[in-house]
Chains A and B, each alone.
Chain A
């Protein structure tokens, strides 16, 4: 019995030793081919330094824009979900009434909550503050990548909405 156990242990050791050698070789070949292939292909990505903003901002898809009048029309008809792409502090100070806060880096945290509010025909409208603010585009790109298709950007949304005197809210609601 003891002999059998000892023999089995020796057998397992032999299997594992050869497995480790082969695994290392396979891994090295895969790394080599992957790096070379990535360098040669036009759609290759930089190997070091992943930037969420840069990736989300990459123009895989062009996000359509929406005017204030169209956005307000959808708001009245309850056919829009507004997504405030600014940081949480700015959001708490004031935002479009009913909007949810999704900063570009935090899409995965809020995706489930957003999906619950989407029904067929609903348009997701992202906005931030100022005509040059990139956050609304970054959040919109990120949402598209996560499979949320009906996304539009309201450029300078917060500024325009306030000036027009449309409903706003404070805090987390």
Chain B
């Protein structure tokens, strides 16, 4: 019974920490790309996965989506929607990275800024980890209440 109470308390707090971490991460990633859309378009182009006609649109929309996800996750509104989108994005990022690693392309990630190191399998592991955090937040987030509420 005691153990049950412990998990009831620790899971929402862990989820809140994950939520805030994801929020700050998305904010950092999104703002960097909003500043330099042309360079981000080149990063997307280098992945060689999308038709040319869709590259600029994605380069314009994705950074703002990341910023809105950040705002939602940090402020605590539409958390379920934000964490679902976040999980979807990390899944797509992991697949895109994996495809190009298998192809053997040496490209910059474009993950958090438009310049950067070449991709490697650690990036895929990181995306998978962030995907897991997003799913955790989706199902276990209880908001700020968990800090003040009782464990009942």
Once the chains bind, are A55 and B38 in contact (CB under 8 Å)? yes
- B98 surroundings in chain A (CB, below 8 A): none
Closest to A142 in B: B42
The contact string, 1 if C-beta is below 8 Å from chain A, for chain B 47-88, is: 010001101110111011101110010000010111111001
The residue that B80 contacts in the complex, of A22, A47, A55, with Cβ under 8 A, is A22
Q: Does B108 contact A (CB under 8 A)?
A: yes
CB distance from B16 to the nearest CB of A (A): 17
Q: Does B133 contact A (CB under 8 A)?
A: no
Closest to B85 in A: A23
The residue that A19 contacts in the complex, of B60, B84, B118, with Cβ under 8 A, is B84
Once the chains bind, are A26 and B41 in contact (CB under 8 Å)? no
Q: Does A45 contact B (CB under 8 A)?
A: yes
Closest to B58 in A: A50
The residue that A108 contacts in the complex, of B34, B48, B72, with Cβ under 8 A, is B48
- B interface list, Cβ under 8 A from A: 34, 37-39, 41-42, 45-46, 48, 52-53, 55-57, 59-61, 63-65, 67-69, 72, 78, 80-85, 88, 105-108, 115, 118, 138-139
